[in-house]
Amino acid sequence: MTAKVLIIDDDRELCGLLVEFLELEGFVTRTIHDGRAAVDLCRVSSFDAIVLDIMLPGIQGLEVLRILRTFTSTPILMLTARGEDTDRIVGLEMGADDYLPKPCNPRELAARLRAILRRARAEEGSLPGGAAERVVGQTRLNSAERSASHAGTDLQLTSAEFNVLQVLLEQAGTVVEKDSLSRQALGRPLAAYDRSIDVHISKLRRKLASLGGENLIVSVRGSGYQFTVSTGKQAP
């Protein structure tokens, strides 16, 4: 299945290089160089993944991300200035699925996109044994529909959040190491100083807690995270 990727970046030279490489890798690409126009395009056209630069004319990338997340769950990979950790964390908090620092390696971008797409496609995200649904306590996850709920209310997860929750529910009651969680949920090993998993976990906790599911995801110091089979106090 050919993936349609939208690149939102005002650097036309970089866009040209990325398009050339990604199309050789089998992607179908489209570029747009203005934030406001990108939002308008995404309202009327669908894409399998979006590559979004943080620095844009008109509407800044983070504002584009915020608006996009009000009407689409399409996986979004941010391009951020090298060393701008704050932009990365804020972007992940606002619903981005992953990030790469600029200037980015086109080969690494293609690999990240493939990882995002593999995890986002429902037919490749079924639970072990062919089960379409996993239920732990009041938390329910349907891999075929890529939906999750707690106490009967939709959690409204991003693609990355869904992936993280799916891995935790599949191994509920056991500790999942951070690197393993990153590999399974994001499709890549955990890099040094990478906060992606921590940010996704933080968002999942808030969404669960808002529906009465406090302390369901426990931190295990120096190891990883565990989805508890029954509600208990979170480890310090």
Q: What is the pLDDT of residues 12-50, one digit of tens each?
A: 999 999 999 999 999 999 999 999 999 999 999 999 999
Of the candidates 99, 120, 141, which is a domain's last residue? 120
* Domain co-membership, 78 together with 145: no
Of 86, 102, 120, the one marking the end of a domain is 120
pLDDT, averaged across the chain: 88
Quick one: 127 and 103 in the same domain? no
Measured torsion, CA atoms of residues 105, 185, 158, 197, in degrees rounded to the nearest 10? -80
Q: Are residues 54 and 99 in the same domain?
A: yes
Which ranges of 131-195 would DSSP assign to H, the alpha helix? 159-170, 178-185
pLDDT digits (tens, 9 = 90+) for 48-88: 999 999 989 878 999 999 999 999 989 999 998 866 778 88
Tokens read off for 33: 């160089």
Residue 233 lies in a domain: no
How many domains are contained in the chain? Answer: 2
Same domain for 172 and 80, yes or no, is: no
Identify the band that residue 128 occupies on the pLDDT scale cut at 50, 70 and 90.
very low
Domain hosting 195: range is: 123-227
Mean pLDDT of 119-136: 63
pTM over 0.85: no
Last residue of a domain, one of 71, 87, 120: 120
- Nearby residues of 199 by Cβ (< 8 Å), 6 or more positions away: 89, 92, 93
Does residue 235 lie in a domain region? no
